[in-house]
Amino acid sequence: MQIDPAYILIETEHWLLNHHLATNLPGYLMLGAKAPVDALADMPDAALAELGGLLAKTQRVMQAHLKPKHLYISRYGHMPGFPLHFHFIPVYDWVEDSFWQDARYRRLQDLGLQPQGHPLTDGAELTLFVWREFGESPTPPLIQGPSVGQVVDSLRAHLRD
């Protein structure tokens, strides 16, 4: 798959960091392998050596400049044809507020599967919310703060420092 250069933040010999193409959430990044492999064990040693530094630098820059309440770094993916990649999902205060304001996500509390009272949630619930509401919904929650394009430009500048 060809990625629009407007979404690319940095590119190294083995990795490509870009804004997720199918989300409206500013700062949702993807770090993907250039090699056509889907397992860490199959990556060239040089790519593995580069990976740790890229993960750490991306986390450091995102936390310093986007200031999310939570930052999830995950590997999902079992779809054929996609190389190994990692998701960087920023969960801002306003994203978590949107989650709590959406009655559809209160169903676990209604069923007694989640504590009542003080709102507690976990990464799985918030990740599902981000995927469904910012990626799949025809009417995503309103964005607070910089747009996707503004975030890409800002992070690109800081990651290249």
CATH number of the domain at 24, please: 3.30.428.10
Residue 103, pLDDT score? 84
Residue 81 is predicted with a pLDDT of 76
Would residue 49 count as lying in a domain?
yes
Q: Which residue range(s) make up the domain with 137?
A: 5-150
130 occurs within a structural domain? yes
Query: Total structural domains in the chain?
Result: 1
pLDDT for 109: 65
In a domain, 13, yes or no: yes
15: left (phi over 0), alpha (psi -120 to 50) or beta: beta
The answer to whether residue 37 sits within a structural domain is yes
Q: Does 134 map to a domain?
A: yes
Please list, in sequence order, all residues whose beta carbon lies within 8 angstroms of the beta carbon of residue 105, skipping any fewer than 6 positions away: 99, 125, 129
pLDDT of residue 82: 80
Residue 157 belongs to a domain: no
The token pair at 76 is: 């999902």
Asked whether the beta carbons of 66 and 56 are under 8 A apart, the reply is no
pLDDT value for 104: 85
All residues at 6 or more sequence positions from 61 whose CB lies less than 8 Å from its CB, including other chains: 155, 158, 159
| Residuewise pLDDT in 10s, the chain (161 residues) | 689 999 999 999 999 999 999 999 999 999 999 999 988 999 999 999 999 999 999 999 999 999 999 999 999 876 777 889 999 999 999 999 999 888 888 766 666 655 555 466 778 889 999 999 999 999 999 999 999 999 999 999 999 97
Threshold 0.85, pTM exceeds:
yes
| Measured distance between the N- and C-terminal CA atoms of the chain, rounded to whole angstroms | 28
Structure tokens at 138: 């025809």
In a domain, 90, yes or no: yes
Q: In what order do the strands lie in the sheet with 15-19?
A: 8-11, 15-19, 29-33, 85-91, 70-74
- pLDDT for the residue numbered 158: 97
Task: Give the model's pLDDT for residue 117.
Answer: 54
According to DSSP H, which parts of 66-141 are helical?
93-101, 107-110, 123-129
Domain-located, residue 40: yes
Q: Which residues of 69-80 are buried (b: 16+ CB within 10 A; e: fewer)?
A: eebbeeeeeeee
Q: What is the predicted pLDDT for the residue at 29?
A: 98
